Amino acid sequence: MNRLSARTRTALAAALVLGIAAGPAAAGPATAQPAPAASHQTSGPDAEALRAAIAGLPNANSTAALVRVGGKGGDWRGSSGVHDLASGRAADPDARFRVGSVTKVFTAATVLRLAAEGRVDLNRPVRAYLPADIPASYGTVTVRQLLNHTHGIPSPAGGSESEDLEVLYAHRLDLHSARAAVAQATSPAKEGEKNVPGTTQRYGNIGYTIAGLLIEKVSGTSYEEAVARRILRPLGLHDTYFPGSSPRIKGPHNHGYQVFKKPDGTTELRDVSVWGATETWAAGDLISTTADLETFLKALFRGRVVRGPLLEEMFTVPNIAGADMSVGLQRYDLGGGRVVWLKTGGRWGYNAVIAAPRDLSRTLVYSVNSTDAKSKAMNPTIKSIQLAAFSC
């Protein structure tokens, strides 16, 4: 690949990044393990730039980073930072982590698989499948519109972007009901926030929460079992699982930390590794590893998860002004005919991404333990990883 211009690099970072705010942390080690290149590949990752991108962790922005880059010219794998700040021991490169909204890609793919099985019609109103959950006022919303964020259903009140962080932390172990969230989002009190279906693309979790309920209705199993049966088990994703009501990450994992503001104006880091994810459910509760996400990314793009015309749904952006999201993925134009399809995800203490052009000539998967994973500011570690991965 040709080197990207400064303007393109900046735009790429803005499109891909889930940023963070600063907080105190100590310095730590970095390690990298290059993988052998395949003989037919011609343009490999910039190993030096990738090593530099994750060097020096933990720092104020990130406590650990796990990165896998692949494609033409071979693969590169690296890890940096610490397992936890108390012990200071090196980060586990095979650790599990919360993938956040990358979960949506698994949910979308499962709905498309159900469509291939003849159980779901993407053009059919969602209310036809879930009459008890979707009121008549949303009777024209189709399954496709749920998945490409053009459904017009407002988000329920509360959530990680609208409440005080201390309040969220105090209630981090609370259990949440998907049906209660849908009822609140579609209630008469929210009518003033709705959009006409198919006219506006607005990203959020509620469409995928409804998709989870749809999956359960048409599959006759739990959402988790439906995804496992169609994706996790066939692909051998043994380190990927749904936590359910448990707020803990089972198995090896690097701790996540969040910056909190103190009353005196200073900040402190708190370990937020234990935090329930039932409020995001089918929109964001999956736990995985970089190896499993890379396997999934490659299998998905190669048509091993979703096949034929239905796979094209994941690479088709609706013809709406300003739209850049398809069914499950987001499109970003690097210029010069280069397009990356990606999905980012953020949970407290954890940021993740899967990203690649359609031909898989360059793939990127990372987990970064950001100290403010929900911030709209740019995380310098993530920005450096992205630029290093796609700039050559």
Token duo for residue 226: 């439906």
- For the beta sheet containing 30-34, the strands, ordered from the edge strand earlier in sequence to the opposite edge, are 30-34, 76-81, 62-71, 362-370, 350-356, 338-347, 330-335
- Among 148-162, 254-268, 279-293, 361-375, which stretch is predicted with the lowest mean pLDDT? 148-162
CB 216 within 8 A of CB 226: yes
The pLDDT confidence band at residue 16, using thresholds 50, 70 and 90, is: low
Query: Taking Cα atoms as reference points, which of 219, 24, 228, 208 lies closest to residue 100?
Result: 208
Tell me, what's the pLDDT at 157?
80
The model's confidence at residue 329, banded by pLDDT at 50, 70 and 90, is: very high
Q: What is the pLDDT of residues 228-251, one digit of tens each?
A: 999 999 999 999 999 999 999 999
Q: Which is it for strands 76-81 and 97-98: parallel, antiparallel or unpaired? A: unpaired
Tell whether the model's pLDDT for residue 374 goes beyond 50: yes
Q: Which domain holds residue 48?
A: 6-390
Cα-to-chain-centroid distance, residue 72? 24
Question: Which pLDDT score, from 0 to 100, does residue 391 have?
Answer: 81
- What distance in Å separates the CA atoms of residue 374 and residue 75, rounded to the nearest whole number? 29
Above 70 in pLDDT, residue 68?
A: yes
382: which 2 tokens?
A: 């993530």
Residue 28 has pLDDT above 70, yes or no: no
d(CA 189, CA 287): 34
Return the structure tokens found at 162.
Answer: 């609208």
pLDDT score, position 164: 87
CA angle 345, 347, 353 (to 5 degrees): 25
Q: What is the mean pLDDT of residues 293-308?
A: 98
| Burial of 161 from C-beta contacts in 10 A (0-12 / 13-18 / 19+) | exposed
CA-nearest of 231, 273, 232 to 95 is: 273
Q: Is 244 left (phi over 0), alpha (psi -120 to 50) or beta?
A: left
Residue 224 phi/psi, 5-degree rounding, is -60, -45
pLDDT of 57 higher than 80: yes
d(CA 32, CA 26): 20
**Nearest C-alpha neighbor of 86 from the set 270, 335, 218, 219:** 270
Inter-residue contact 103 to 286 (CB < 8 Å): yes
Count how many Cα atoms sit within 13 Å of the Cα of residue 129 in the half-sphere of its side chain: 26
Q: Does any domain span residue 1? A: no
Residue 200: CB atoms within 10 A of its CB come to 15
The number of folded domains in the chain is: 1
Q: What is the DSSP letter of 268?
A: E
Note whether residue 339 is domain-resident: yes
Domain with residue 62: its CATH number is 3.40.710.10
**DSSP code for 386:** H
Torsion of CA 48, 53, 57, 59, to 10 degrees: 150
By the 10 Å C-beta count (0-12 exposed, 13-18 middle, 19+ buried), 28 is classed as: buried
- pLDDT at position 370 is 97
Q: Assign 392 a pLDDT band (cuts: 50, 70, 90).
A: low
How many Å apart are CA 358 and CA 124, to the nearest integer? 28
Mean per-residue pLDDT over the chain, rounded: 89
Q: What is the CA radius of gyration of the chain?
A: 20
Q: Is the pLDDT of residue 319 over 50?
A: yes
Complete DSSP assignment for 184-210: HHTSGGGGGG---TTS-----SHHHHH
pLDDT at 2: 41
Cα 338 from Cα 45, distance rounded (Å): 16
Distance CA 56, CA 243 (A): 31
In-domain check, residue 213: yes
How far is the C-alpha of 36 from the C-alpha of 76, rounded, in Å? 8
Is the pLDDT at 161 greater than 60? The verdict is no
